[in-house]
Amino acid sequence: MRTQVGIIGAGPAGLLLGRLLSLNGIENVILERRSAAYVLSRVRAGVLERGTVEALEEADCAERLRREALVHHGLQIVFDNRYLRIDLQALTGSSVVVYGQTEITRDLMAARESEGSPTFYEAEATKIVDPESDRPKIIFRHADRDQTLECDFVAGCDGFHGISRTAIPPSVLRTYERAYPFGWLGVLADVKPCSDELIYASHPRGFALASMRSPTRSRYYIQCPLDIQLDQWPDERFWEELKERLGPDVAAHVTTGPSIEKSLAPIRSFVAEPMRYGRMFLAGDAAHIVPPTGAKGLNLAAGDVRILARALIAYYKQGLTDLLDAYSTQCLTHVWRAERFSWWMTSFLHTLPEADPFARKLQEAEFAYLARSKAAQTALAENYVGVRH
C-alpha cells in the first residue's frame, strides 16, 4: 500500500491532520488500533481556544460547533469560599468555546467518511521502518495479517502510549517529565451545569472543577489520591464532596443526578524533544502531556497539526522544506509555554500531599495578588485563551 502521508492514530489530531491534507489534495491513510466505536466512546475535555476553532473551520468541520458550542467570555476561581471572576473577553479581546472532544471526533469522522479517504480501524501499527529515509514505512497488523504502508512522511498522532515516539533513537530523544501525586476523579451527568462558566475551586480538602458539555450535561472533577477505587466513590459521596469544595454559594446551584461516566485521571507533565526525526513527526499526546488544569491538551494537539499541515502543504505545492525543518522548534515553543501555565495553575489550585501551612499561605498570597492586580489577571487570561498558530 502506498500513500503520501501515513498517519498513526484516529483521535482528533490524526483526523484533523488527515482532513486538512485531503482538502489540499494530499493523499493520506490513517491507521487506528482501536475500533471506531471505541474512539468515539472516550470522554475527554472540550475547552477550545480560538486557534482550535479556526483549525476546525479550515477543515470545514465547524458547522455543528457553531450551532451547538457554548461561548465563554470568562472563568471563575473560588479560593476558600472567596470568589473571583476572570473576564477573558475584557482582558484579552478573546474567549474560549466549550464543545466536547467526542463531538469534534464525530464531526471529523463524518467528514472523512464523506470524502472517502481511507481509515483502517483495528489496525495496530507495530513498527516504523527507515524514518530517516525518503521512503519510510509503517508496518501494521490488520485483519489478522501484517501489512506495509509506504509513504513520504509519517505523522505520529498515536498518543502517549503509541509507537511513534519509540522510533526516535534514545541517543536523539530527550524527555522531561513530572508526575503529580494525585489525580482527578471525574463524573459526567445529564444535569444542568451549576454555572454558565467554568469554576476552578481551591479548598483545603483539595481542588474541584465545575464544567459542562452542554446546557444539560455537566462534567465535574475533584482532586483525589491515585490509589482510590471507583467503587469507594458512589455518586452520593462524590456530590457531597464536590459541594463542600465549591463552597456554599456555588453548591446551592449544583443539580445532582446519576453519573453516566466516572473515571480517575492521573495528572502529569511530559515533553519529548525533538518532535521530528527524519520524515517522521510527532503531534499531540505522542509528544507532550499537560495537566488538564490549564485546558491545553487538545488545543496543543490542534496547534501541532495546524503547523504540520501547513508545512506539508508547502512541501507538496511549492517544494519548500523550511516549514518542515522548523516544525519541532515552532511547536516546542508553544508546548513549553503551555506546560509552564498548566504547572502554575495546578500548583496554585491543588492541595499538595506534602504541603505545610507555609505552602498554603503562599497560595493564599497568590490569590490575593490575582484578585487585586489587573496585570496578573491579564497574564492568566492571555495564557488561558491561548496563542494562535
The catalytic site residues sit at 72, 200, 292, 296, 384
Query: DSSP label at 75?
Result: E
311-316 contacts, C-beta under 8 A, 24 or more apart: 312/5, 312/21, 312/26, 312/153, 313/20, 313/21, 313/24, 313/26, 316/4, 316/24, 316/25, 316/26
3-state secondary structure of 84: strand
Residue 179 phi/psi, 5-degree rounding, is -100, 130
CA 305, CA 28: separation in Å to the nearest integer?
14
Measured at the CA of 62, the angle between CA 56 and CA 67, to 5 degrees, comes to 150
Strands, sheet with 82-87, edge to edge from the N-terminal-most edge strand: 82-87, 74-79, 199-202, 208-214, 217-224, 174-189, 259-273, 288-289
Determine how many CB atoms are found less than 10 A away from the CB of residue 252: 10
Residue position matching grid coordinates 533513537? 169
CB 149 within 8 Å of CB 113: no
CB 153 within 8 Å of CB 164: no
3-state secondary structure of 322: helix
CB 293 within 8 Å of CB 346: yes
